[in-house]
Amino acid sequence: MLAPTPRAAPAAAAAMRMDAYRIAAEPYYRSVGDELALFEAACAQRLPVMLKGPTGCGKTRLVERMAWALQRPLITVACNDDTSVGDLVGRHLLDADGTHWQDGPLTLAVRHGAICYLDEVVEARADTLAVIHPLTDTRRLLPIDRRNELLKAHPDFQLVVSYNPGTPGAPRELKAATRQRFCALDCSYPGTEVEVEIVARESGIPTDLAASLVALGVRTRRLQGEGLDEGASTRMLVRAAQLIAGGTAPAAACRMALVAPLSDDPDLGAALRAAVDASF
């Protein structure tokens, strides 16, 4: 077998590197509308996608499901207050062999045709968000100032962001100049029957027990804005169900997976524990 040529070697190494970001098995995602078809339509037209909705309602699972369906690598960035341009684009590193450039996650996706998912994008610094603007219009370009490079996006590159609008206590909202560059999908908690199906499917507990958990979750969501920033998410309900499936008593599982994470307020915690005791 002939050894790869010097030009082929970097391409082969890049392909192997991107394989690490591929999702091998189909993630479970229960569609609640036409979001899968709309997401795919946006990708076909190379349009950036924004997912708007509360924490734990399935936004990340939707992106994973679409990355698997489209057979594209998925590179996820959990944005925070310290997320800088260098964290997304890349930086020069110094090692024993000297200085070399290392692509950041956004540059990797742009260069090799992956989906780049910026989770909770509003948490990133404002100057950081400006770097994605040229990628969200017909230019599809990524300026890499530190290398004096203007990188044209691979045809398969897809930018997806998510955020939770209107969360009480949120440090800031996403600027209109950024929001309007995206096609947006509104995500929310599924209807009761579908949520029961999801909780039972993800944990393996009986449907009637899943229904009791979902009913409790719905009760906590009614307290949003009246002491709670957010109610129990579908993700939290699944975690409680997984504890129950592992042998934990339902009330104890709910106190651990729902009550304690939802609030530090003693009075509100007592009210939530009472709701748990009434449910189980």
pTM: 0.88
Instruction: Give me the residue label for tokens 């020069």.
Output: 92
Q: What is the pLDDT of residues 37-73, one digit of tens each?
A: 999 999 999 999 999 999 999 999 999 999 999 999 9
Instruction: Domain ranges for the chain, please list them.
Output: 8-186, 192-279
Neighbour count for residue 9 (Cβ, 10 Å): 11
What's the pLDDT at 3? Answer: 43
Residue type, 260: A
What's the pLDDT at 2? Answer: 42
Neighbour count for residue 171 (Cβ, 10 Å): 8
Percentages of the chain per state (helix, strand, coil), in multiples of 5: 50, 15, 35
Instruction: Give me the residue label for tokens 């929310």.
Output: 188
Domain 8-186 top-level CATH class = alpha beta
* 224 contacts 185 by C-beta, under 8 angstroms: no
User: In the 8-state DSSP scheme, what is residue 76?
Assistant: E
Q: How far is CA 261 from the centre of its chain?
A: 20
State which residues of the chain have pLDDT below 50: 1-8
Q: How far is CA 164 from the centre of its chain?
A: 11
What's the pLDDT at 1? Answer: 42
Q: Which two tokens stand for residue 34?
A: 């036409």
Residues 82, 79: Cα–Cα separation, whole Å: 8
